Amino acid sequence: MIPMSHDNQAGCELKLFATFQVQGGCQRMCRRVGSLARILAPLLAVMLAAPALRAGADEALPPLRLCADPTNLPFSSDDPSTPGVYLEIGQALAKALGRPVSYDWYKSYFGKRTVRMTLLGKHCDAMIGLPPSEDFMGPSVIFSQPITREGYALVTAKGRRIASIDDLRRLRVAVQYQTTPQNLLAMRDDIDKVTVLSPEEGMKALDDGKAEVAFIWGPVAGWLNKSLYGDHYAVQTTDGEGLLWPVAIGFAKGSTGLRDQVDAQLPALAAVIGDITAKYGLPADAPIKLGAGPQPLVRHAALDTSERPVVLAQLSTTTEANAVNPAPAAAKPEAINDGHEIFNGTCAHCHGPDAIQSERRINLRLLQHRYGDDMREMFWKTVHEGRPAKGMPSWKDVFDDGQLESVYAYLATVQTPD
């Protein structure tokens, strides 16, 4: 071992001291940095996570898209100051679901075609104001729990109470054309009937003194009474077959998750919905129970517009026994019945109930005459691909092939000669 000189030893001690000083300084600095990092780390994590959280929230909360008519008060309007009953209900529902709301505008007087082109065309998520019936659009539309009721009403001067049809004797009654009220009064010679084409015309006849009672579509009558006639009249709801319907929210088949979410919110919104219907003058009184008359019309509560009455279908007494050609041997009676139901629920708006249609080009009872052996091929091509230029949508995403097969089986039973 080589002995170290005093100077060398002192130099080494000095270097060693300096090394410890540097190491100590680094340790102190590291401790400070570490403390600062521990303070800043949570804040930094939040800042870094915030965009991701916002993106996740946006992805989880897409708009609730509502099918809506831009000019159909009291039901809906594109005027933000008076959006209408259905849109205000939709806004309240979207708020309860924690979602924004958007609208797909389409005129509702096209009847069932409106439902096909908007709701079933996947342009919107929900259509408020549909009748929750299996007979409406077949199985392609599912429904929420009822949110309100709508129907025909008796509009009179305040103080005049109508409790039965007999109370209309010797009175002039403005009655809406091609409706259940007209059928109900048709056989009563002791009632002076003034036929009108719309609720507006009925209210005007009443206001002009040409009628003492108006038997017309209740929601529009209530809205006109509130907005145009200064709440001058009494609007009394009626009940009976074809006079009063439950009203619900419709969804395309397959939207059961959204439907269930909506159903879960509806009980808490009952009071809000009541306030909204009152705001627009919709009758909310106890209905007057009236007897039923003949019912040749099936009407859709939400699609009765202020522009003209909307007749969606007519009940027919035609049966399959009237068909010229029997069903194909492979078609079972239950399949034919299923096809008949789907057809009348979905296709009858354009092609006529029971495929009875006077317009030759859309008379489906002439398929065999028109296409012969190619009838089946043409049917499948049309229902699968649609004819958009002629207003015929594709149905392959609405009905499965088994359901379309049952529709074909039904149509095969009603083919007739030219």
pLDDT, residue 287, reads 92
**Which residue did the predictor score with more confidence, 285 or 235?**
235
Residue with token string 């009179």: 156
Mean pLDDT of 114-127: 92
Q: Architecture of 154-239 per CATH?
A: 3-Layer(aba) Sandwich (3.40)
Percentage of the residues of the chain whose pLDDT score is greater than 90: 47
pLDDT in tens, 248-277: 999 999 999 999 999 999 999 999 999 999
Return residue ranges of the chain for CATH 3.40.190.10: 64-148+245-279, 154-239
- Give 352's pLDDT tier (boundaries 50, 70, 90): confident
Interatomic CA distance for residues 401 and 418, integer angstroms: 29
Q: What's the mean pLDDT when you consider all of the chain?
A: 79
> What CATH number has the domain spanning 320-412?
1.10.760.10
Higher per-residue confidence, 11 vs 285: 285
> For the segment 289-346, what is each residue's pLDDT rounded down to a tens digit?
886 444 433 333 334 333 333 332 323 333 333 333 344 445 788 889 888 888 887 7
pLDDT at 350: 75
Instruction: Write the pLDDT tens digit of every residue in 56-69.
Output: 544 568 999 999 99
| Percent of the chain clearing pLDDT 70 (strictly above) | 74
Whether the per-residue pLDDT at 8 is higher than 90: the answer is: no
Q: Which band of pLDDT confidence, cut at 50, 70 and 90, is reported for residue 86?
A: very high
CATH of 64-148+245-279, one of 3.40.190.10, 3.20.20.140, 3.40.50.2300, 3.40.50.720: 3.40.190.10
Report the range of poorest mean pLDDT among 102-106, 138-142, 187-191, 313-317: 313-317
SS (H, E, C) the chain: CCCCCHHHHHHHHHHHHHHHHHHHHHHHHHHHHHHHHHHHHHHHHHHHHHHHHHHHHHHHCCCEEEEECCEECCCEECCCCCCCHHHHHHHHHHHHHCCCEEEEECCHHHCHHHHHHCCCCCCCCEEEEECCCCCCCHHHEEECCCCEEEEEEEEEECCCCCCCHHHHCCCEEEEECCCHHHHHHCCCCCCEEEEECCHHHHHHHHHCCCCCEEEEEHHHHHHHHHHCCCCCEEEEEEECCCCEEEEEEEEECCCHHHHHHHHHHHHHHHHHHHHHHHHCCCCCCCCEECCCCCCCEECCHHHCCCCCCCCCEECCCCCHHHCCCCCCCCCCHHHHHHHHHHHHHHHHHHHCHHHCCCCHHHCHHHHHHHHHHHHHHHHHHHHHHCEHHHCECCCCCCCCHHHHHHHHHHHHCCCCCC
Does residue 182 have a pLDDT over 80?
A: yes
pLDDT at residue number 325 = 37
Higher pLDDT, 296 or 74: 74
pLDDT of residue 135: 78
Q: Would residue 344 be called left, alpha or beta, if left means φ above 0 and alpha means ψ between -120 and 50 degrees?
A: alpha
Q: Residue 154 pLDDT > 90, yes or no?
A: yes
| Comma-separated ranges of CATH 1.10.760.10 domains in the chain | 320-412
Tokens of 211: 């009628």
| Tokens linked to 163 | 């409790």
Model pLDDT, residue 327: 40
**pLDDT (average), residues 40-50:** 51
218-252: per-residue pLDDT in tens?
A: 999 999 999 999 999 999 999 998 899 999 999 99
pLDDT per residue as tens digits for the range 381-405: 999 888 866 767 788 877 888 889 9
pTM over 0.85: no
Q: What is the structure's pLDDT at 328?
A: 45
**Closest by alpha carbon to 199, among 180, 222, 183, 182?**
222
